[in-house]
Amino acid sequence: MKNGPYLLGIDLGGTGSKAGVFTLEGELIGSGYGEYQMISTLPGQAEHDAGAWWQATVSAIKSAIRDIDASQIKAIGVGCTNGLIAVDKEGVPIRPAIMLWDQRALPEVQRITDCLGAETVFEITGNPLAPGAFSLPTIIWLKHNEPQSYAAAHKLMVPGGYLVARLTGEFTIDFSRASTTLLFDIRKRQWHEPFLEKLGIDIDKLPRPVPCDEVVGSINDLTAELTGLRAGTPVIGGCMDTIGASLGTGVLDEGQCFIIMGTAARVAGPVKTGQFDRRFMNCTHVQDGCWQYIGAINGVGSSLRWIRDTFCELEQREAAERGADVYELITAQAALSPPGSKGLLFLPYLAGERTPLWDPYARGVFFGLTLGHNRGDFFRSVLEGAAFAIRHVVELLEADSGLVINDLRIGGAAASSVVWNQIIADVLGKRVVSLTQSHTEVLGAAILAGVGVKLYPDFGAAISRTIVTGETYEPDSEAHLNYDKLFPMYKQLYLDTKDHFAELVQMDLPQGWVTKGKGQG
């Protein structure tokens, strides 16, 4: 076992909580994972039991530090996905967390637009008005549809802030996550009180905004007893998962770009201008005078997981029997299909889409299906659809923002897929560099903690000490030529079908299986 000091990183994600203990050289020496489930009882709704987050995190921490002297953990960093959690004075959730995939607050967008003006919101916050991805519509929905929950809420938290509160008893929100509330002045880095006044939101219900690397508290006695951590261990303010990924991939300079392949994908990088593109999410960066653009793509890992759960019972059984990775069995079949999947296109909009469409009504489409298509073609088209979505974002960055992106670093759960990495390189016509550290956001949270307690002099020094790149994938020119033919059709296909998506939603069709007559029951 390596000697300390150690850093503990935690990432509260869309499907589970990960914890990792790292040396100051970025070597992972202990890890843990706890899973939880999405709650979706009505179409368009997506909730999590925040209590399950805490239980999963406690389990993950205990696993990560099982063989480690906890006194050698010098700081703890937290990264998180997005959602809204109303909690009481003890930090206990009042109701399930409403997550970023949830679209129930769509009608509130118009209410906010009428009150504040969409252009004013964008000018102050650097972000467009949209449900789910941003907290404000959800807060307004809660205020008008569950007034008892709103009234009982001591604080309205994001997942990372909730976790910090459970660890320390302090109610905070880091600057990067505050940027996704639509109540935060992204340049002044403070709550924008005129918005709160006009919307009737009590500022006392909002947590205290803090820099991502600020030490905001320490492990309390109860957490120490539950997890085995040492009471008094410093905890920093934390960050949104994409900021953690930026650090975990070693991307700090303008022009660098990375992709995180998780349940959703994020194409992101730093910018030094305070002018923002409304088709992207934007947040503060850990470096002063710098911001981060985020091309948030909903249907990447979630599309492949849907394929696994819906069509791959055979592969799941084989994986269990052989101790293999079910996704490798799926992508191996995809590799047998030619580039372009014999003309089968997939729009990966199974949960609507964010960048660059911002269309909550968008739905998934398989287009071009023939009798000549097989399972492998379907699987490959899903991988290619995600790669086309990534290309769509990168194309906008280069065409409209003037950035020159020569290669992309890729991390996250899907980044270990040789097949998928090569498809992304071929679709984009750019070099893709994989990261050897699969827990990118967890490492980023740990780096943030190390800078916060001065174990690293700055972020550049921390990255040079911890980040090691892996395999490089060069684009195949012939495959890229085929994808160049398909990409314009991919973009046009959405434009040709988007009106029908809204029509389907307005039909309000039954979402369950209903039988009538004989045999009912």
Cis peptide before 356 (omega within 30 of 0): yes
Give the residue among 128, 135, 107 at the shortest CA–CA distance from 44.
Answer: 107
pLDDT along the chain (521 residues), means of 10: 89 93 96 92 88 97 96 97 96 95 91 96 94 93 97 98 97 97 96 98 98 97 97 97 92 89 87 84 90 91 92 96 95 98 97 89 96 97 97 91 86 85 97 82 96 97 92 96 98 96 86 50 37
Run of H or E including 482: helix 477-507
Rounded to 5 degrees, what are φ and ψ at 12?
-95, 105
Helix, strand, coil in percent for the chain, rounding step 5: 40, 20, 35
Residues with Cβ within 8 Å of residue 496, at least 6 apart in sequence? none
d(CA 445, CA 258): 16
**Are the C-beta atoms of 445 and 77 separated by less than 8 Å?**
yes
Q: Which CATH class is domain 250-435+468-500?
A: alpha beta
Q: For position 519, what pLDDT does the model report? A: 41
d(CA 495, CA 467): 41
Residue ranges, CATH 3.30.420.40, the chain: 6-237, 250-435+468-500
d(CA 509, CA 145): 23
Q: Kindly state the DSSP code that residue 94 receives in the 8-state scheme.
A: S
Task: With both helix axes pointing from N to C terminus, report the angle between 106-116 and 135-145 in degrees, rounded to the nearest 10.
Answer: 100
Q: For position 402, what pLDDT does the model report? A: 79
Residue type, 116: L
Give the residue among 399, 395, 403 at the shortest CA–CA distance from 491.
Answer: 395
d(CA 252, CA 230): 32
Q: Which residue has the tokens 């953990």?
A: 73
d(CA 40, CA 38): 6
Q: For position 513, what pLDDT does the model report? A: 52
d(CA 148, CA 349): 34
Tell me the CB-side half-sphere exposure of residue 366, using CA atoms within 13 A. 17
Q: For position 101, what pLDDT does the model report? A: 82
Cis peptide before 107 (omega within 30 of 0): no
Q: Kindly state the DSSP code that residue 358 receives in the 8-state scheme.
A: -
pTM here is 0.85
d(CA 384, CA 348): 9
d(CA 243, CA 249): 10
Tokens of 99: 């997550």
CA distances from 111 to 103, 118, 152, 345 (A): 15, 10, 23, 37
205 alpha carbon, distance to own chain's centre = 25
Residues with Cβ within 8 Å of residue 90, at least 6 apart in sequence? none
User: Is the domain covering 6-237 a CATH 3.90.550.10 domain?
Assistant: no
Predicted confidence (pLDDT) per residue in 268-306, tens digit: 999 887 778 888 999 999 988 899 999 989 888 889 999
CA distances from 136 to 87, 126, 178, 200 (A): 16, 14, 11, 12
Give the residue among 11, 449, 19, 10 at the shortest CA–CA distance from 266.
Answer: 11
Residue 253, SS3 per DSSP: coil
435 alpha carbon, distance to own chain's centre = 17
Rounded to 5 degrees, what are φ and ψ at 122?
-65, -40
Q: For position 407, what pLDDT does the model report? A: 86
Q: For position 438, what pLDDT does the model report? A: 64
